[in-house]
Amino acid sequence: MKKELLGVIDATTYHEDLEDLLAHRALAALPFAGRYRIIDFVLSNMVNSGIRSVAIFPKMQYRSLMDHLGSGKNWDLNRKRDGLFFFPSPSVDFDGKKIGSFENFAANLDFFYRSTQEYSLISNCYTVFNMNFRSILEWHSNSKCDITEIHQKDGGSMEMYLIKTSLLIKLIETRNETGYTCMKDAVNDIQSLYTICNYEYDGYAVMIDSIENYFSTSMNLLQSDVWKKLFIKEQPIFTKVKDEPPTKYIKGSVVKNAMIANGCLISGSVENSIISRGVKIGKGAVIKNCIIMQKCVIEDNCILDSVILDKDVKVEAGTQLTGTAGSPFVVRKGTQQGALMNS
């Protein structure tokens, strides 16, 4: 029988540098690339790698994440056997900075015992990448390694770990004796009893941990070589389906170098920007170097440069908003921006 992998996604992470975008949602549910949430990348990669059982460990503000994932149907994970599992943290005060917290896993040890998959892949939830995990499983199982940590080529840890499920259970159960609180502790112990290996991943991968890097990673999507590394026909990124119609370009619209999701009505001009589903851009409006999230309404003759509009933002006619690439102007979810409010 083929070697099976269990997917474990740690969705407890919170990055303070992304605060403006995380007031209403978990980091895992951060909108990205016009129609995705950031967790879609790792989750789709798991599914595309043949993983049939995925456990997600969220912490706070997980309503948006649950709403997004639902039964797992969009990832083909609504299965009678295995499928998608959701394990919210039993306590609110544990440290969410460590990927693969054993304390958190321990509360759901039964799940690991019940899982039949020989290996487990433990991953963070905020990496933008398109990777097939089968090759690393092959590599790991042929090596003498006990734990493999995925590294970026010429870079640091990607906070993804491959380990035998039985060893993972052992690490969870012996956490008090070993002093290992998480996967990171286990791989960073130079006196470890286990063989720790690094696997170098030479594909495209960015871990989103600040507004600045969220903005620049988004803008890089407009380069077709980056785009092609992320959106591969044979390894699609799945997401929650919305029944939006195709985007309509209305007389007077000018669009250049942009990524535009479905359901938009565009009358103004858009350049170097990412526009999410269901956005309305009025006549004479100029949108440059912006990330506009779902269902925003930008009225006529607005001028926006280097701005991130979170979901459901309304920008009144004639408003001007300007940020910079290093420090984009961020407008929080559901708010309204008027012409007289910013000077």
Partner 1 sequence: MAKKKCVAMLLAGGKGSRLNSLTKDLAKPAVPFGGKYRIIDFALSNCANSGIDTVGVLTQYQPLLLNSYIGIGSAWDLDRKDGGVTVLPPYAESSEVKWYTGTASAIYQNLNYLKQYQPEYVLILSGDHIYKMNYESMLEYHIEKRADVTISLIEVPWDEASRFGIMDTDEELRIVDFDEKPANPKNNLASMGIYIFNWNILKEYLEMDDRVPESSHDFGKDVIPMLLEENKKLFAYPFKGYWKDVGTVQSLWEANMDLLREECDLDLFDHGWRIYSVNPNQPPQYISPAAVVKESLINEGCTIEGDIEKSVLFQGVTVGKGSTILESVIMPDAIIGNNCLIERAIVPSEVKVPDGTVIRSFDDEIILVTNEMLSGLYPAF
Told to check if 257 binds partner 1 by CB under 8 A, we report yes
Q: Does 259 bind partner 1 (CB under 8 A)?
A: yes
Of 277, 240, 244, which is closest to residue 260 (Cα–Cα)? 277
If binding is defined by CB under 8 A, does position 225 make contact with partner 1?
no
Q: Please report, as residue ranges, which positions from 119 to 158 form the binding site for partner 1 (by CB under 8 A).
A: none
C-beta of 270 vs 303, nearer to partner 1: 270
Applying CB under 8 A, does 341 fall inside the site for partner 1?
no
Q: Among 241, 335, 338, 342, which residue sits at the site for partner 1 (rule: CB under 8 A)?
A: 241
- Residue 263 or 328: the one with the smaller Cβ distance to partner 1 is 263
Q: Closest distance between partner 1 and the C-beta of residue 293, in Å?
A: 12
- Considering only residues 141, 213, 253, 322, which one is a binding residue for partner 1 as defined by CB under 8 A? 253
Q: Which helix (H) or strand (E) holds 168?
A: helix 165-173
Q: Any contact of residue 226 with partner 1 (CB under 8 A)?
A: no
8 Å CB contact between 149 and 196: yes
Torsion of CA 35, 37, 38, 39, to 10 degrees: -130
Q: Taking the complex as a whole, how short is the minimal distance between the CB of residue 83 and partner 1, in angstroms?
A: 16
Q: Which two structure tokens, joined as six digits, stand for 133? A: 């995990």
171-183: b (≥16 Cβ within 10 Å) or e: bbeebeebebbbb
Q: Which two tokens stand for residue 141?
A: 């199982």
CB 333 within 8 A of CB 314: no
Take residue 282 and report the two structure tokens written for it.
Answer: 């009025």
- Could you tell me the smallest distance in angstroms from the CB atom of residue 70 to partner 1? 12
C-beta closer to partner 1: residue 126 or 238: 238
- Which member of 90, 231, 338, 342 binds partner 1 (CB under 8 A)? 231
Query: Would you say 45 or 104 has its CB closer to partner 1?
Result: 45
Of residues 70-109, which lie at the interface with partner 1 (CB under 8 A)? 73-74
Site of tokens 């990673």: 217
**Other residues' Cβ atoms within 10 Å of the Cβ of residue 81:** 7
Shortest spacing between CB 241 and partner 1, in angstroms: 4
Site string for partner 1, 25-64 (x = CB under 8 A): --------xxx-----------------------------
**Whose Cβ is closer to partner 1: residue 77's or residue 274's?**
274
In angstroms, how far is CA 128 from the centroid of its own chain? 6
Q: Does 21 bind partner 1 (CB under 8 A)?
A: no
Which residues have C-beta within 8 Å of that of residue 277, sequence separation ≥ 6?
34, 35, 242, 244, 261, 262, 263, 264, 294, 295
Under DSSP, is residue 6 helix (H, G, I), strand (E, B) or coil? strand
Nearest approach in angstroms of CB 32 to partner 1 is 11
How far is the first Cα of the chain from the last one, in angstroms, to the nearest whole number? 66
Query: Where along the sequence are the contacts to partner 1 (CB under 8 A)?
Result: 33-35, 73-74, 222, 224, 227, 231, 236-239, 241, 243, 245-251, 253-263, 265, 274-275
